[in-house]
Structures are given as C-alpha cells and as structure tokens.
Structure 1
Amino acid sequence: MFRSRFSLLALSPILLLILSSCTKEKHTAVYLDQAGVAWLDTVPTPSDLSSPEERAEYRLIHYWDGLVFTDETYTHDADFMSRVFDRYVSQLQEVDSATAYPAVEDLMRRAEADSVTYYVFTHLADGLYERGDYESYLPFARAIIASDYSSEDDKMIPEYQLSLVLKNRPGKPAADFTYNTLDGVSSMRSLLGERPLILFFYNVPCHTCHRVMADIQSSEILSAAISAGELSVLTVDKMGPLEEWTRSVKDELPKGWIHGYNYTDLYDTDLYNIKGVPTIYLLDKDGTVLIREASVASLEQWCLAHLSL
C-alpha cells in the first residue's frame, strides 16, 4: 500500500505536466491602442492581396482569429466586446453581402463554444437593429435564425425584426397606403411620378417631430428644392387626436406640404417599420425607397447630389 502510494506521488509531477500540456487553454490575443484600451486585431494582411476588396475580405474573415471564444476574461467583458464588435461591423460594411453573410455565419458558429459568449453576440447584434443599422443586422439575424444552437424562443425576436427590416428596404418599392386630408382620402402613390417624396411619419403631440419639421423648413437646400417643385413632402400623423391634427394643419404645419393622417394602417402595425417618431423616408419619383430613417442632413446630402439646385 505504501509502495503504491509512493509510486503515484513520484509520478505526479510528470502526470501534472502531461495534463497541463493537454488542457492548457490559449488566451485571447489583444493589443492596446494609444489610450491603453484593449482591442482585437486581425492577422497582418498578406502583401499579395493587392485589391482593396481582397484585403477587406481577408481582414473580415480573420478579424476574430485572436479571440478564444471560451476566454471569459474578454468574451464576458461587455465593454471590451462592444468596442471590438463595433470595429468588426465597420469592416463588415466594407464588403458585399456575398462575403458578409458567410463571415457572420462563421462568427456565430464559433461563438457557440460558450453559451454566454453566444448571448453576448446576439445582444450586440440586436443593438444594430435598435440603432437602425439594418443592413449590418441582416446577416446576424439570418445566422441566428438558421442556427440549430438557437432555441425557437431565441429566434422569435430576430425573425420578427427581420420581417420588418425587409419591408420598405432601400432599393425596394415603398408600401402604398391611403391617408385622409382636410379635403378627403388619397393614396401615397398618387403623389408619385413627377418628383421625389419625403414621407414624414409623426404623432401630432410630438414636440421633436415639429422641431424636425422646422429644421426642414429652415434648411436652405431642402426649402429650395420644395419651392422649386423638385421635392414633395407628405406628413402623416399616425396616432391623433384628430381634433388636434385638424387645428395644427390649419394653424401650425408648413404650408406647401401635403398633410394627412392614417390611424388604422400605421399605428401598431407592420406596414412600415416605425420604431419612433419622427420616422422619415425618402422615395424616388417611382416610389422606390432611397433612404429610410433619414435625417435632415442625409436629405440635404441627397438633394445636393441629385437635384439641380
């Protein structure tokens, strides 16, 4: 008995060495920027990749090579993961969908190594949707929905959000709807055919909505385009109350714009993805979405680039 125990003790350093070499985990490779903030880096881009497209694709595919997905020191650090994820998304935007979709699919498959890590990535992806970066959100939603790792409950939100993202997408025809004016009922598409259209969805009591209307009015670029007949504006109140809308059309809302309301098809429905108000779309003269969730600045930039102002 004593001899057996002694032999085991004598061998234990060797056994420990073997076991440690077998179970030793890699650690995440991180770098520090000039401010001392830790971030991931990709492996150096090979010099034989000469075109910007090839280099962008290589950086995207290898971006996460330095991350050990089971290394909780980093993968469970929300601040670190948020920073490196944002850097990744900026690179995602440099490639086409044929490159982005499989790259994101591979990323989410690697994240399955740890349940918390996978949750972190799904949460970060959801943040893209919340801030309106729908094109970056698309490949993540598709990857989560297609994964066997995600439960059916996990897929419910991305499935719903994906259905909204795909509606009225830039480059696609905008959904038609009717609206009521002081003079009767009309349809959005009846305004098309001659000039681009700003769709301005709002709620009549919303102070921010009226401020943004005022910003459009005070914009020299936009007001010039509207006055010259090169751009139309349709405001649509989607909640009411009707009496207040009627008063505001007569006394407050900008003259020369078209003002309407629709309290059935736009309130709490999926016809348009209106997460908050105001929500602004820019359509071309044929009704194709040019910009969704537009800002005054993005409208001005488009007008300068496409109208003869």
Structure 2
Amino acid sequence: MKTHLYYYIAIVCIILGTSCTSGQKQHATEEHTSIQKENVATQPDKAQFPFPDIPVMLTEPEERREFLLAHYWDNFNFSDTTLLNNRDITEQGFVNHISLLADGESSSQEITKSLDALCSHIEQQREACKTFMHLFDEYLYNPNSPLYNEALYLVYLNRMLQSKTIDDATKSTLAFKQKLISRNQPGTLASDFTYYLPNGQASKLHQTPASNNRLLLIFYDPECPSCHEIMQDMLHDQTLADAVTDGKLTVLAIYTEGNPEAWRSDLSNLPANWMVGTDREAIKLNALYDLKAMPSLYLLDGNKKVILKDAPYARIRAALHF
C-alpha cells in the first residue's frame, strides 16, 4: 500500500510540476511528509520507476499530463531482464500507466498514442514483449482485475496486430480475442443463438419476448462457486423478483457448459418465472460471446440491442433503477 501511495504521489507531483523528494515546501502536510520519511528510512536504496523528464516550458497540468502519457516509458530499459522481473518497478509502473489512461481524463487520441508508444518499445524485445503481454492480459482482460477494461485492451490488441515483429501464432490468438471482444458491444445487436427449454423446446434469443423492453441475459454454470455466489445475490433480491413478477423485466438464464445432468438437477433452485435453457455448448463452440468468467450478465432492450455487456450485477440494478 505504501509503495502504491508513493508512486501515486510521484505521478501527481510530476503532472503538477512540484518536487516529491528533497526540498519540499513547508506547506506539505505532515502525513505526506511522514510517508516520504518512512520510505526514505526503510528503503534507502530502493530503485524507482524512471519517469520521463518533462520540459520546463510545459507548465500547465494538461500539457504535462499529455507529455507524460506520450513519453511514459522513454527512460525504461526494456532489454534489462532484471528490471523486467522487478514487480515494484515494472508491474507497478504499468498499473499506474493504465490507471492514468483509464481515469476518464484522457482523449481517445492520447490513449492510442500512449499505448502505441509502449507497444513500439516492447515489440523490439522478446522478454519485454512476453512480460508486458502478460500484464495486459492480467490487468485489462481478466474480469477479476480492478483495472479490467475491454476498451483499453482492444486498443492494445489493434496495435499489436499491426506489429511486424509478432509471430503469426501470437497474432492469431490476438485476432481471436479482438473478434470476440468486438462482438456484443453496447449499442449493437446481441448475437443470436438457439437455446433449449427443459422440455426440449427450441427457441432463439431474438425471438424471446422482453417485458417492458428489458431482458436480463444470464450465462451461468451451477457448478461454478463464484457463479453460485452471484446467482444467490440475484435469487434473494426481492426487487428483482418483484420486477419480473410485475412484468417490468424478463430474465433468461442460459447454461453454457457440457453437463446436462448438473443443469437439470439445479433447475428447481431457479425462480419459476425465469426463462431457463441450455445452448448445448453452441455459444462457446461458435465463440458468440466472450465468457471469460461466470456468471456473465448482459442487459438487452426489446430489440435485443446490448445496453450493458458482461456487467457486474450492481451495474445491472442501477441501470434498471432498482
């Protein structure tokens, strides 16, 4: 935590053009000063991230921020494998970089330019490329990451697919992820699929009626522990139950795995007014939806356009004004 706070303070100081080391102004808070003293006392020789030197003629925070994003990695030695394996510098530096890009202050042009600069560095060094591609996957594509961000990840994928140094096998993997992520984006029509009710009757998503122009699409697996926890939250949500009963929302729960016995044995645990079916693994086989983790929740309108994609249940509730 102290390391994270130190880096955060360092970045803020760089953008504002103030000093975070020696010669601090007397108006600094005691808490700020004590944190720095503790860092100096306990980590006297600790290496720090090599932030770029921002030209002194750039005095406005916006200008300094833009320069920092464009040149964030200029002083980093991507050929140094020891440095690459130093999580306090490399991984923390990456996390801070991504946090800056994701804070809502950066334009799409600034984001693209900043990630392009980073990718231009890593594609020249094999070990650096391996290390940073793992970081991109772990922080931006992992749904359990606090920095999970498909939009930034897609910018990274688009850039790396243009690389002339990445091998074809790696590009094929990146292209598959790019195609998968690009599907079912908010504002687009959700991919249609056939599902089967417990009685064997077949239906399609696009033919499923949506009460009050809203449909909550749930991809789930009763054998998944984390899925069970979130499903229980929904099952015990009286507001959700009332909304379905009052015709304000349709819930369609689709089992996407390959154990029909487990699916059938769990049917009695789901509300009778939910529509429940199985796709018989067609969604995964055809890569129609990006099901990285279960459950995966989509909020659709009556025309089956995506309102929210793979969203936490709290965001679903907020969008439904629960």
SS of the aligned residue for 2:320 comes to helix
The answer to whether structure 1 residue 103 and structure 2 residue 114 are counterparts is yes
Work out whether residues 170 and 292 of structure 1, in 8 Å CA contact, stay in contact via their aligned partners in 2: yes
Unpaired stretches in structure 2, ≥5 consecutive residues: 1-13, 15-19, 22-34, 40-45
Q: State the 1:109 CA deviation.
A: 0.9
Distance of 1:216 and 1:150 partners within structure 2: 44
Work out whether residues 54 and 67 of structure 2, in 8 Å CA contact, stay in contact via their aligned partners in 1: no
Work out whether residues 54 and 64 of structure 2, in 8 Å CA contact, stay in contact via their aligned partners in 1: no
Q: Give the alignment of 1:129-148 within 5 angstroms.
A: 129-131=141-143, 132-148=148-164
Letter in 1 for 2:93: V
Distance of 1:149 and 1:157 partners within structure 2: 15
Letter in 1 for 2:269: E
Q: State the 1:140 CA deviation.
A: 1.4
The answer to whether structure 1 residue 201 and structure 2 residue 201 are counterparts is no
TM-score by length of 1: 0.75
Q: Which residue of 2 is the match for residue 122 of structure 1?
A: 133
Q: State the 1:224 CA deviation.
A: 4.3
Work out whether residues 221 and 300 of structure 1, in 8 Å CA contact, stay in contact via their aligned partners in 2: no
Q: Which residue of 1 is the match for residue 177 of structure 2?
A: 161
Q: Give the alignment of 1:1-309 within 5 angstroms.
A: 34=36, 36=39, 38-39=48-49, 41=51, 43=53, 46-48=58-60, 57-93=66-102, 94=104, 95-127=106-138, 128-131=140-143, 132-182=148-198, 184-192=201-209, 194-239=212-257, 241-249=259-267, 251-304=268-321
Work out whether residues 181 and 259 of structure 1, in 8 Å CA contact, stay in contact via their aligned partners in 2: yes
Distance 1:89 1:267, change over 3 A: same
Work out whether residues 203 and 240 of structure 1, in 8 Å CA contact, stay in contact via their aligned partners in 2: no
Unpaired stretches in structure 1, ≥5 consecutive residues: 1-28
Distance 1:156 1:287, change over 3 A: same
Q: State the 1:71 CA deviation.
A: 4.3
Distance of 1:47 and 1:136 partners within structure 2: 28
Distance of 1:111 and 1:225 partners within structure 2: 50
SS of the aligned residue for 2:190 comes to coil
SS of the aligned residue for 2:272 comes to coil
RMSD of aligned C-alpha atoms? Answer: 3.0
Work out whether residues 282 and 289 of structure 1, in 8 Å CA contact, stay in contact via their aligned partners in 2: yes
TM-score by length of 2: 0.73
Percent of matched pairs sharing the same residue: 26
Work out whether residues 168 and 174 of structure 1, in 8 Å CA contact, stay in contact via their aligned partners in 2: yes
Highest Rg: 1 or 2?
1
Distance 1:113 1:213, change over 3 A: closer
Distance 1:192 1:118, change over 3 A: same
SS of the aligned residue for 2:95 comes to helix
- Between the two proteins, the alignment pairs up a number of residues equal to 272
Q: State the 1:148 CA deviation.
A: 0.8
Distance of 1:39 and 1:283 partners within structure 2: 44
Q: State the 1:150 CA deviation.
A: 1.2
Work out whether residues 119 and 159 of structure 2, in 8 Å CA contact, stay in contact via their aligned partners in 1: yes
Distance 1:60 1:221, change over 3 A: farther
Letter in 2 for 1:129: Y
